[in-house]
C-alpha cells in the first residue's frame, strides 16, 4: 500500500497546475505582423548554430549574426542555421530581413502557442509544430514550438531553448558515408521532421505506461490522490491531442502544396512520414480513450468499495435487530415476567442471543451474502 501511495504522489507531481500565460493579451489591438514574443525567456542570449556540408566537407560552428552573411557566400550544398532562443525580437527582425522572411511568418515563429501549420510562400516554405519530450513515465511532458524555413539550399530552425531531439541527425551528418550527406536541404528538413515525429512514439510509450500505473492504482487505492492524478492525466491527453492532431494536416501539406520546394526524390520519405503521423494520432486516441476509461474504472472501484462497506454495516445492523428486540423485551421489568426471577435466566438469554447470531451468520453464508 505504501508503494502505491508513493507512486500516486509521484504521478501527482507531474500534473501541478501551470501558470497561465497572459502574454497573448499584449497582441490585442496590434496590426497583423506585429512582432511580440509570447513565450518565456529561457536563455540569456540567443545562439546561432551553423552547420554546412556537402559530399566532402562538413563544418559546424556557433556564430554571431554578423558572421552569417560571410558563410552564406560560400554557397555550400546544404546550410542549416539553428537559432536557439526567440526572446530577442530585434534580432529576429534582422534575420527576417536577411532571408526575406515575411512579417506574418516571423509573427508565427514568435507566437509559441501557434497551432501546427505549414505555408508555402514564393521564395520559402514555412512549417511550425510542437516538439515534445518525456524521458521516463515519471517525467512530465516538456513541449516547445519549433519552426522551420526552407529556402534555396538553406534550412532555418527556430527553437525556444536548448535540448532537442536532433542529436541522431547531427551524428549522421558527421559521417560522409551516410546518405544524408549526398542529398539536398529538403531531405535534411525531412530528417528533422522525422526525428520530431519519432520522438512522439517515445512520449506515447511513456504515457501509456503511466496510464497503466494509474489503472492499477485506481483499483487498489481509489483515494483523492488517485482522482487528482487521473484528472491531471486527462488534461494532459487533451493538450496532447491539440498538439498531435494537426500534424496530419501539416505533413500532408508537404506532398500536396510544396511540389516546387520538395524534390521528387524526397517525396516518398514525406509520404512515409505522413503514415507515421497517422500512427501517432491513432495511438494518442487509444490512450485518450484509456485515460477516460481509467477514470470510469476509478468511479466504479470507489462505488464497489462503498457497496462493500455498506454490505458489512447492513449485516451488522441485521444481526443486532433481533438482539435489540430481545434486550428490549426483557428490559420492560414487569412484575409478572417469570424469567426475571430465574436463577440462570440471564445466561439463558445470552445463550439464546448467541444462537441467533450463529444462525443468522450461517444463513448469510448459505446465501453467499458474506
The domain locations on the chain are 2-301, 307-366
Angle between helix 185-220 and helix 224-244 axes, rounded to 10 deg: 160
* Mean pLDDT, rounded, for 48-58: 91
* Mean pLDDT, rounded, for 18-24: 50
* Mean pLDDT, rounded, for 324-342: 79
Q: How far apart are CA 218 and CA 340, in angstroms?
A: 56
Strand stretches in the chain, DSSP E: 47-53, 58-63, 78-84, 117-120, 125-133, 142-151, 154-159
How confident is the model over 160-180, as pLDDT tens digits? 988 889 999 999 999 988 999
For 49, half-sphere exposure in the C-beta direction (CA atoms, 13 angstrom radius) is: 11
Residues listed for the chain: 370
Task: Name which residue leads in pLDDT, 76 or 77.
Answer: 77
pLDDT for the residue 2: 47
Q: Which CATH superfamily is domain 2-301 in?
A: CorA soluble domain-like (3.30.460.20)
* Mean pLDDT, rounded, for 72-77: 74
174 touches 56 (CB < 8 A): no
Task: Name which residue leads in pLDDT, 184 or 339.
Answer: 184
Residue 63 to residues 51, 56, 186, 272, 273, Cα–Cα distance (Å): 10, 22, 23, 35, 32
Find out if CATH 1.10.760.10 is the number for domain 307-366.
Answer: no
Q: Which residues contact 162 (CB under 8 A, 6 or more apart)?
A: 43, 47, 84
| Three cell numbers, residue 165 | 531531439
Percentage of the chain modeled with pLDDT above 70 = 91
pLDDT for the residue 118: 92
Q: How far apart are CA 184 and CA 146, in angstroms?
A: 21
Please state, rounded to an integer, the average pLDDT across all residues of the chain: 84
Nearest to 161 by CA among 87, 64, 243, 68: 87
How confident is the model over 209-238, as pLDDT tens digits? 888 888 887 777 777 787 788 888 888 888
Task: Compute φ and ψ for 215, nearest 5 degrees.
Answer: -65, -45
pLDDT for the residue 221: 73
Q: 15-19, 140-144, 192-196, 332-336: lowest mean pLDDT where?
A: 15-19
List % helix, strand, coil for the chain (3-state, nearest 5).
60, 15, 30
Say if residue 241's pLDDT is above 70: yes
Amino acid at each position: 500500500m505504501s508503494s502505491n501511495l508513493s507512486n500516486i504522489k509521484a504521478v501527482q507531481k507531474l500534473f501541478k497546475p501551470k501558470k497561465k500565460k497572459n502574454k497573448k493579451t499584449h497582441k490585442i489591438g496590434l496590426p497583423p505582423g506585429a512582432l511580440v514574443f509570447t513565450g518565456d525567456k529561457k536563455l540569456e542570449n540567443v545562439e546561432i548554430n551553423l552547420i554546412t556540408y556537402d559530399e566532402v566537407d562538413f563544418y559546424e560552428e556557433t556564430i554571431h549574426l554578423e558572421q552569417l552573411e560571410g558563410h552564406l557566400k560560400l554557397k555550400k550544398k546544404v546550410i542549416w542555421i539553428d537559432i536557439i532562443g526567440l526572446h530577442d525580437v530585434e534580432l529576429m527582425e534582422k534575420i527576417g530581413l536577411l532571408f526575406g522572411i515575411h512579417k506574418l511568418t516571423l509573427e508565427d515563429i514568435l507566437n509559441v502557442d501557434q497551432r501546427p501549420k505549414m505555408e508555402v510562400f514564393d521564395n520559402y516554405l514555412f512549417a511550425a509544430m510542437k516538439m515534445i519530450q518525456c524521458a521516463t513515465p515519471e517525467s512530465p511532458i516538456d513541449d516547445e514550438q519549433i519552426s522551420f524555413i526552407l529556402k534555396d539550399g538553406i534550412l532555418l530552425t527556430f527553437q525556444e531553448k536548448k535540448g532537442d531531439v536532433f542529436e541522431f541527425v547531427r551524428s549522421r551528418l558527421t559521417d560522409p558515408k551516410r546518405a544524408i550527406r549526398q542529398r539536398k536541404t529538403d531531405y535534411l528538413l525531412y530528417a528533422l521532421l522525422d526525428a520530431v515525429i519519432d520522438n512522439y512514439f517515445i512520449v506515447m510509450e511513456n504515457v501509456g505506461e503511466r496510464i497503466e500505473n494509474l489503472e492499477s492504482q485506481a483499483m487498489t487505492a481509489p483515494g483523492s490522490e488517485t482522482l487528482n492524478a487521473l484528472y491531471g492525466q486527462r488534461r494532459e491527453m487533451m493538450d496532447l491531442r491539440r498538439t498531435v492532431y494537426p500534424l496530419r494536416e501539416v505533413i500532408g501539406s508537404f506532398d500536396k502544396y510544396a511540389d516546387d520546394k520538395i524534390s521528387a526524390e524526397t517525396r516518398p520519405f514525406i509520404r512515409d512520414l505522413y503514415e507515421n503521423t497517422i500512427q501517432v494520432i491513432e495511438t494518442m486516441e487509444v490512450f485518450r480513450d484509456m485515460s477516460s476509461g481509467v477514470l470510469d474504472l476509478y468511479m466504479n472501484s470507489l462505488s464497489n468499495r462503498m457497496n462493500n462497506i455498506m454490505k458489512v454495516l447492513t449485516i451488522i445492523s441485521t444481526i443486532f435487530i433481533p438482539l435489540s428486540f430481545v434486550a428490549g423485551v426483557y428490559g420492560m421489568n414487569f412484575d409478572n415476567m417469570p424469567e426475571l426471577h430465574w436463577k440462570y435466566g440471564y445466561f439463558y438469554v445470552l445463550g439464546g442471543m448467541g444462537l441467533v447470531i450463529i444462525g443468522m451468520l450461517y444463513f448469510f453464508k448459505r446465501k453467499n451474502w458474506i
